Each structure stands twice: as C-alpha cells, then as structure tokens.
Amino acid sequence: MKLVVIGGTGLIGKKVVMNLRQHGHEVVVASRSTGVNTVTGEGLSQALAGAQVVVDVANAPSWEDNAVLAFFETSGRNLLAAEAAAGVGHHVALSVVGTDRLLASGYFRAKMAQEKLIKTSPIPYTIVRATQFFEFVGGMAQSATEGQTVRVPPVLMQPIVSDDVAAVVADVALAEPLNGTFDLAGPEPIRQDDLVRQFLNATGDARTVITDPKALYYGITVNDQSLTPGDHPRLGTTRFEDWLSSRSMAVAR
C-alpha cells in the first residue's frame, strides 16, 4: 500500500513514517523540506499519485490567529482537492482533544475549521483527537513562567507520549475509515500543576510552580473538562513517570 504522510518530518510524522515502513508499506514523506507544500500546492499531485491513504499530521508554522486559520484552511482545501483528483480512499488527520471546547483560542478555531473541511469532503476519513504530548510539558511551563515562578491551574489533563500517538495514527491509517472522530489519551489523568512540577523536578529546574485556579492555559480559561478526553477514549500505555525516568536515564548516559 502507498501512504503519504503530510508533515512527515515532524515529531509525530517521523514516527508514523517509521511505523508504516516497518509494516512493509511504501511511504512518501511530504513536507516543505521534501518539496511538498500544501499551502501553495507545490508537489502535491506528484506525491499523491497512486496513494491509497493520506495521513495529515502537519502543524502550522505560526499560531497567530489569522495566520493559523489561513494555514489550516488553505492547506486543508488544497490537500483534499488533490486527494480527490488522485483517488485517495482514506484521509487520516491528527487533531486535539477539546478542540470544540477551546474556541476562545484562535489555534483551536483553526483546528475546528480543518476538521469541518475534512467532514464535508467526499473522501472517507478518520480524525484522531489526541491530548497534549509529554514532550510539550516544557513549553507549557515556559509559557506560564514569570521570573522564577510558573503559575498554572490545577485542572485535569491526561497527556500522552508522542510514540503512543504515532503508533495509533499508523494503525488507523492501515484500517478502514471510521468516517468519524475518536479521542486518544494517556493512561492516567493528572492535574496540570502536578504535571509541570514533576517535569521541573525531574529535569533539575529550579523554578517554583504556583498553583493558581485563575491561571490561563496559553491565554485561555480552562476547566477539568477542557483538556481531558470524552467517553471511551483509546489509551496509550506509557505513564508520565516512566517517561520522565527514561529521559533522566538517557541524559545520565
């Protein structure tokens, strides 16, 4: 089977490509660095020729409200049109748990626009909504840092490691289209202040975490339902504590 991975050089994309190739499939790595640009359309038709499945795990280069919306709408339209012309039978997209609950954010409004384009396209699809990745906790802490303090809310999260996300996305790409959406989360819920505190402790970071129920998450208000999966999510297997331990061991070596 020939599959095309849009965003195939990114954190998730590289791992999806590796998973699919290990299953013996032909995989095209599509990104601007490989000559495929979904915004301009450059290289799209050539990359998609003969492909049965397209996996879109690309992210926007800018999260500014207008720029991120323009990226996901333009990229989505170009990609879906090229897929229709190439006879692609399954479009797989990676989205974010809580997208429909976080529309105060321009980024999530853009992700919602992307999802709507997919759902209204004639191409069979599966949308995987994942929770936040373990690998992004450092950035989360940085965005909430004021001097030597990190002010975060004690809201529930259920983050997941990127390896588990990539494995599920690859499995979905090889399965029949759901023509629907499902949530994907880590194995355990954890409060955001505890998550950040554990990360800073494990990495030897001297910043102090302050639990603030009024603190924002990337500029928006969140609650215990905002960042957690809905009913019957698929779950990854890697626990946050185990991931932190494996990182610490790797650094020690």
Size of the chain, expressed as the number of residues it contains: 253
**pLDDT in the model for residue 130:** 98
**pLDDT in the model for residue 67:** 96
The conformational region for residue 79 under phi > 0 = left, psi -120 to 50 = alpha, else beta, is alpha
Neighbours of 82 (CB within 10 A): 23
Percentage of the chain beyond pLDDT 90 is 95
Of the CA atoms within 13 Å of residue 224, those in its CB half-sphere come to 3
Is 2-247 in CATH node 1.10.10.2840? no
Question: Quick check: helix, strand or coil at residue 31?
Answer: coil
C-alpha to C-alpha distance for 168 and 162, rounded to whole angstroms: 10
C-alpha to C-alpha distance for 82 and 28, rounded to whole angstroms: 15
**pLDDT in the model for residue 253:** 38
> Do residues 35 and 42 lie in contact, with contact meaning Cβ atoms separated by under 8 Å?
yes
**pLDDT in the model for residue 210:** 97
**pLDDT in the model for residue 248:** 62
pLDDT band at 251 (very low <50, low <70, confident <90, very high): very low
Question: Quick check: helix, strand or coil at residue 149?
Answer: strand
Domains of the chain by residue range = 2-247
Handedness of CA 73, 71, 44, 135 (dihedral sign): negative
pLDDT at 249 > cutoff 90: no
Instruction: Give the tokens for residue 91.
Output: 């479009």
> pLDDT tens for residues 26-38?
999 999 999 999 9
Sheet with 145-146, strands from edge to edge, namely 145-146, 149-152, 208-211
Contacts with 25 (C-beta within 8 Å, 6 or more apart), sequence order: 1, 2, 3, 174
**pLDDT in the model for residue 211:** 97
